[in-house]
Amino acid sequence: MGPRLLAASEKFLGVTYVLGPLGEGPDAEFDRGPLLSYTELDCTTFVEETMAFALGGGEDRALDILRRIRYRDGLISYQTRNHFPEVDWLPNNMAAGFLKDITARVGGANTRTARKIISKREWYAAKTAADMQGFEAEPPAQIEARLNRLRALGADMPDQQASIDYVPLESVFALLGSIPSGTVAALVREDNPNEPTLVSHQFFIFDGPAGKVIRHAAYGKMVMDVPAADYLAGLAGASWRVLGLNLASVN
């Protein structure tokens, strides 16, 4: 699978980073961004589209797979989108058979587990009009009513206990050679009450001509490659402390 993921991801190199570029299409209630983009991606949508094309080949098949990667049970709606890596994206894609957690296999005795209470209720309640796409022509009163409906989606959602395995950052350097090419990595940070998640970034780790490389949609930049050792070294001392990497293989 590694070579297929590498080939599928090549077409996205140089694509501009835009946060939240995809939505539920032109008739969506809250986010009318496209279901697929070749011109704008963020870290998660880059991983999703690469997986979809590696698994599906042509666009029609890839779109069907992308639907099942991005949405719980493949049902397209804002509320069924896999928003939270720890309690939605990773577990739902493992249940669907697209991913397998290999963190413990790589990390062995070094493997640790991070935990956090995820509050989707608070996350939805904090939504603003900027979180909705495609409604610029609507009157302000309609936008406000739409925003209130979006916020209400989380009103009855219970808090969830999230747990995610990771290889500690200080151990990753020695284990880079054990990480299979094409692995999906999630950057796990310490629990911060001011942040809604533990995972702040997702990317691929590939074999490169001079060692492991990270291919990712870099915030504020584009889809690009960076030597894995250099990228990981730059995470030390981050104000929101990085714990390590969760690792998953694509099936």
Whole-prediction pTM: 0.96
Considering only CA atoms, which of 206, 212, 150 is closest in space to residue 3? 206
Alpha helix positions (H), 128-177: 140-152, 169-175
Residues 112 and 191 grouped into a single domain: yes
Can you give the pLDDT at residue 57?
84
- Pick from 158, 178, 205: which residue ends a domain? 158
Give tens-digit pLDDT for 151-172.
999 999 999 999 999 999 999 9
Residues 73 and 96 grouped into a single domain: yes
Residues 186 and 114 grouped into a single domain: yes
Number of domains in the chain: 2
Q: Determine the structural domain holding residue 33 and report its residue range.
A: 2-119+159-250
Give tens-digit pLDDT for 162-204.
999 999 999 999 999 999 999 999 999 999 999 999 999 999 9
Tokens of 61: 């098949």
Give tens-digit pLDDT for 41-60.
999 999 999 999 999 989 99
Distance between first and last Cα of the chain:
7
Residues 41 and 101 grouped into a single domain: yes
